[in-house]
Chains A and B, each alone.
Chain A
């Protein structure tokens, strides 16, 4: 969850120089997010957002996402995939690796140099990233909220129906997919992420996280899993490439 890395960054830059606000987008509230916050013991502001209000307000479609907001309340950058370092997520016999420290370096630079930072977006870049959404995506938002309401009320049948509708209306919104799939269990959700990612990687030009266009960024279009046996397979492939041709 990277919270300890954010805490290090917060302390090293200096809490007097900026506000850091961490928002957990979790329909299960404290029961799901609380232990991660407790473990990291962050001194920055921490919010549990059961209805994904912050993602809706900023138009974010996956977690983690983040924004830099200047002293006058204007958005400087608004990105997806804001990992502060390389993150490894393990599941069963596999793992995925995401992100690196490019965003943390850029964040430090902006806080120290403000508008002089090379990572401040131009007005054109900002407008391109904050573009209007279509009617279906606008309808998906209250549909997703309806699903969260019925999930909270214990009405699983209606919750799943509305999660499904929101996912169809806004197929690129991973928050709707991942939170909705989690209603059926975290293992189910993880498998669905891998399945949908594999399909999109092969058949479309879409990204799981959009590239942040930062120096040194190790952008991966999708979370490609590395299985327990992947190193052995890769080693075998290397050996086969080195083997002399018999033809």
Chain B
């Protein structure tokens, strides 16, 4: 099963007894989605979404000798859009990340590799003015 996010493509395990929903093995959750299960809830950086008992019971399950988290149900809770075709799931941006970042005027951070093979991380450029622009060959 493949999970696409805005900055990653992960080929991860699929729960055998429920392929209609996006179940992610807990040990692969951060790699595939960026989120982690913590005692205080499900966390992405400084954002933590509490899990209430009924959700915890329904969305965390044992199967195939692993512990799984029902990510598609969690995505619905936080308003993250997702779409699938076969065994490929594609996740949209996280609304709370947009609200805390772009919509409040903060430049969204990113880390990418430039053509010289160097890492470009926007937050590393604090203290300098940055002009960023896109173009395309098409």
How far does the alpha carbon of A105 sit from the alpha carbon of B114 in the complex, in Å?
Answer: 27
Bound together, the chains give a CA A18 to CA B129 distance in angstroms of 5
The answer to whether B103 touches A26, judged by C-beta atoms less than 8 angstroms apart, is no
Say yes or no: A18-B130 contact (C-beta < 8 A), given A132-B103, A138-B95, A178-B136: yes
Closest-by-CB residue of B relative to A138 is B81
Q: Count A/B pairs, Cβ under 8 Å.
A: 195
Q: Is there an interface contact between A75 and B107, defined as CB atoms closer than 8 Å?
A: yes
CB of B108 within 8 A of CB of A18, answer no
Proximity string of chain B (73-115) to chain A, C-beta cutoff 8 Å, 1 when within and 0 when not: 0000000011111001011110100110011011111101111
Chain B residues 1 to 37 lying within 8 A of chain A, measured CB to CB, are: 2, 4, 6-7, 9
The residue on B at minimum CB distance from A148 is: B4
A212 on the B face (CB < 8 A): no
State whether the Cβ of B125 lies closer than 8 Å to any Cβ in chain A.
yes
Flag whether A68 is at the interface (Cβ < 8 A): yes
Do B126 and A24 touch (CB < 8 A)? no
Which A residue's beta carbon lies closest to that of B128?
A19
A233: Cβ under 8 A from any B Cβ: no
Q: Given the complex of chains A and B, what is the CA–CA distance between A179 and B135 in angstroms?
A: 12
On chain B, the number of residues with a Cβ less than 8 Å from chain A's Cβ atoms is 49
The reply to whether B131 and A107 contact each other, CB–CB distance below 8 Å, is yes
* A139:B128 contact, CB within 8 angstroms: no
Question: Measuring CB to CB, which residues of chain A are less than 8 angstroms from any residue of chain B?
Answer: 1-3, 6, 17-26, 28, 30, 32-34, 36-37, 45-49, 51, 53-60, 63-75, 82, 107, 110-111, 114, 123, 126-127, 130-132, 135, 138-139, 141-143, 145-146, 149-150, 158, 162, 175, 178-179, 182, 186, 189
B-to-A contact residues, CB < 8 Å: 2, 4, 6-7, 9, 81-85, 88, 90-93, 95, 98-99, 102-103, 105-110, 112-116, 118, 120, 122-123, 125-138
* 27 A–B pairs (Cβ distance < 8 Å), ordered by A: A22-B135, A23-B135, A25-B134, A28-B137, A45-B114, A45-B120, A46-B114, A46-B115, A48-B115, A57-B6, A58-B108, A66-B133, A68-B130, A68-B131, A69-B129, A71-B128, A71-B129, A73-B107, A73-B123, A73-B126, A130-B102, A130-B103, A132-B103, A146-B84, A150-B85, A175-B136, A178-B136
